[in-house]
Chain A
Amino acid sequence: MTESTPAGLYRGMRLIRAFEETALSLVRSGEIVGGIHPYIGQEAVAVGVCAALRPDDQLTSTHRGHGHVLAKGADPRRMLAELAGRESGLNRGRGGSMHAADLSLGVLGANGIVGAGAPIAAGAAWAALRQGLDRVVVTFFGDGALNQGVLLEAMNLAALWRLPVLFVCENNGYATTLSVQAGVAGSALARAAAFGIPAEAVDGMDVEAVRLATERAVERARSGAGPSFLECRTYRFEGHHTMERRVRLNYRSAEEIDSWRRRDPLERCDPGAGQRAVIDREVGELMAEAVEFALNGAHPDPAGALDHLYADGLLPRAGVPT
C-alpha cells in the first residue's frame, strides 16, 4: 500500500517512475517483448488515489496499468518478472504488461479493452454491499473510455444502486493519437452529472490534490452515499505505447510535451528535507534487485501453455492429435 505521508507519496511515484524507466530499457534490449504502455507522467493519479484506500479496497486497472498495481502494493520484482514473461511473475508469465495484476491486493485484473473494467468494479462493489463489507472499489480508465457505452452503462447501474464505486478518469488528453477535443463531445464531468454522480476535476499532476479528492469520494462511498467521479487532468510524457518509438507519429507538439514535463508530479512533490536523495537511492537499489529477479526467473514450460484456463483442471485437446 502507498503511505499517505509526503515521503510515502513521493516514494510511491518514484517507484513507478523508476519501474517504467527500467521497463523501457528492457523493451529496448528485447527482454520485454510486445512493448508496454508507459505510465510516466501520470504517477500522481495512481499514487494519490491508492494512498486514500484501505488494503481491502479493490480496483480495476487498464492497459496502462503498471502504476495502479504498484501503488496498490505489488512487489516490483514479481511485476517486472511478469513483464519479462517469467514463471516467477505475478501472473506466472500468462498476463504480461497489459494484464499484470496481484489479485491478493484487490486488483481485479488489468484490462486490455478500454472501459471494460468499470462494470467489473461495479459488480465487486455490488457484492461488497451484499456481503455487508464497507470496502470501496476504484475503476481507473482514460479519456478514451468516455466514449465506451459499457462505461456509461456501468455509471448508470452504480448510481441507480448506490454502489461504492469511484470512477477515476485519467484524462491524459489523448486516446492513443486522438485528442480529447477531437473525440469527446460534452465533457467527462457532464457525463457523470447526467447520472447524478458527484464529480470533480483534479490537477492530476498534484499527488496531494488527488489524494484529498479521493479521500472525500471514498468517505462518501463508505458512508453508503454511492459512487463519485474524479477527472484527473494529467499527461503521459512518453508515447501511447513503446512502438511509437519506431513509428514516427506527429500528433503532439514538442512545446506541449515540454509544458507538461515542467509540471512533473515528482518535481512538484516535497517528500521532506533530505528525503528525496534517500528515497531515490533506495528505489534505485530495489529496481536493480528487481531486474536481477526478473531476468533470472525461469521461463514457463510450454507444456503448460493452457494451464489455469479452467479451474477444474479440464484439459483441452491439443491442436495436433497425438
Chain B
Amino acid sequence: MTKLSYAKGLNRALADELARDPAVCVFGEDVGAGLAGLTPGLQARFGADRVVDTPLSEQAFTSLALGAALAGMRPVVEFQIPSLLFLVFEQIANQAHKISLMTGGQITAPVTYVVPGSGSRDGWAGQHSDHPYSLFAHVGVKTLLPATPADAYGLLVSAIRDPDPVVLFAPAGALAVREDVTTELVPVPIGSARIHRPGEDVTVVAAGALVYDALAVAEELAGQISVEVFDPRTVYPFDWAALSASVARTGRLVVADDSNRMCGFGAEVITGVVERGAPLRTAPRRVTRPDGAVLPFALGLDRALQPSRDQLRDAVRAVMF
C-alpha cells in the first residue's frame, strides 16, 4: 500500500501517457521546472521537445496545441491560473471544440487542457480564484473535475486518450489530498459518477474539493440523517443514469457547486433531475457561490462567498422536511 498525492496522481498519469504514446506532448509555462506541480521530472525524463516551456503567450500556445493535434499529436496544455481559461476561451470553445462539427467530421482535436489548482487558493484574490467548469460544460467541452488522487490519475489518462478536446480542473482544495492506493491505478471512464458514501435519506451531489465537505457533513450527521455522497467526477457529459438511480432511492437532493449561482452547474443538475420526473419528496437545494461572485482578497471575504460546510449542513437538514 502506498500513499498517493493528488498532484502525484496527475504527474504519474502524464508520465505514463508520455511513455506509452510518442504523440503525447506537454505545453505550458514553467512546465520544465514543474512549478504548478503537474510536471516535475518530466522534462528531464522525456526531453524539452516533448515537455515544452512556452513564453507567456497563452492564446498562441493553446491554438498551437490544436494545430499540433490536427497534425497527429496529442498535446496536453497546462494553465497555472484558472482565470487564464477566460483568456483562451476563444481557442478552446471557438476553435478546438468546433472544428470537428464545422468540418463535418473530417478531423478531430484530441487536446487536453489541465488546470492544476482551480478555485480559491486562499489569498490569490479576484483574478486567480475562479473555478470555471460550468462555463466549459455550457459550451459542450468535455469537462472533468476529479476529487481524489486515483480519479485524478484515471481521468487524466482518459482525457489524453480521448479523441475530443477535454478540460480537466484539478481543484486547488484537493491538491494536497493523499490517499492510500491499494490497487493498480487505472483509467476512469469519462462520464461515470462515483458514490463515495452510500446513504438512504438525501443525495448530495458534490464535485471536486466539495466532495470532502460533503463527506464531513455526512459523517457529522450520521445517526440522524443518512447522506449519500454522489461525485459526478465528470461535469460534462454528466452521468444522469447514476444520479437518477440515487435520487430514486433517497427522494431528496442537495447540490454543492463551487460556481456562481446564475446559470451554474448546480442549476443544471437540479433541473435535469426534476425534468426526468424524479420522485422528490421535498424541494431540492443547492449551495453555490452567489450570483456573479468575484472573490475578494481578505480571507474572511473569500470564504464568505464559497460554499461552506455550514451551508451544506443547513441545506441537508432543510430538505429533510
Contacts and interface: CB of A to CB of B under 8 A. Distances in A.
Most A-side CB within 10 Å, residue of B57, B102, B191, B275: B102
A160 B101 CA distance: 33
Given A122-B64, A312-B162, A321 B104 contact: no
B60 A130 contact: no
A123 B65 contact: yes
B95 A120 contact: yes
Interface string B76-113: 00000000000000110011000111111111101000
Interface in A187-205: none
Contact of A91 (B62, B70, B73, B103): B103
B25 to A, nearest CB: 7
A64 to B, nearest CB: 17
Interface residues on B, range: 35 or more
A157 B90 contact: no
Contact of B57 (A128, A130, A153): A153
B164 A123 contact: no
A67 B103 CA distance: 17
Interface stretch (A34-42, A46-54, A101-109): A101-109
B73 to A, nearest CB: 5
Nearest to A135: B71
Contacts of A104: 106
B59 A149 contact: yes
B271 to A, nearest CB: 10
A90 to B, nearest CB: 7
Interface in A95-133: 95, 99, 101-104, 108-109, 111, 113, 116, 118-128, 130-131
A120 B140 contact: no
A101 B106 contact: yes
B37 interface: no
B64 A119 contact: yes
Given A153-B59, A309-B101, A116 B72 contact: no
A123 B67 contact: yes
Most A-side CB within 10 Å, residue of B62, B73, B95, B106: B106
A182 interface: no
Given A119-B67, A310-B100, A314-B164, 15 more contacts: A58-B71, A90-B104, A92-B104, A101-B103, A113-B90, A113-B95, A116-B95, A119-B91, A120-B70, A120-B95, A123-B67, A123-B75, A130-B73, A149-B59, A150-B59
Interface in B121-144: 140, 142
A108 B70 contact: yes
Contact of B60 (A137, A157, A316): A157
B63 A316 contact: no
Interface residues of A, number: 50
A26 B243 CA distance: 51
Given A113-B90, A120-B95, A316 B140 contact: yes
Given A128-B71, A153-B57, A309-B100, A123 B105 contact: no
B102 A95 contact: yes
A108 B70 CA distance: 7
A203 B275 CA distance: 62
Given A157-B57, A306-B101, A312-B162, A116 B90 contact: yes
Given A92-B105, A103-B106, A116-B95, A127 B100 contact: no
B49 interface: yes
Nearest to B56: A153
B297 interface: no
A311 B72 CA distance: 15
A127 B72 contact: yes
5 contacts: A104-B106, A120-B70, A123-B69, A153-B59, A316-B237
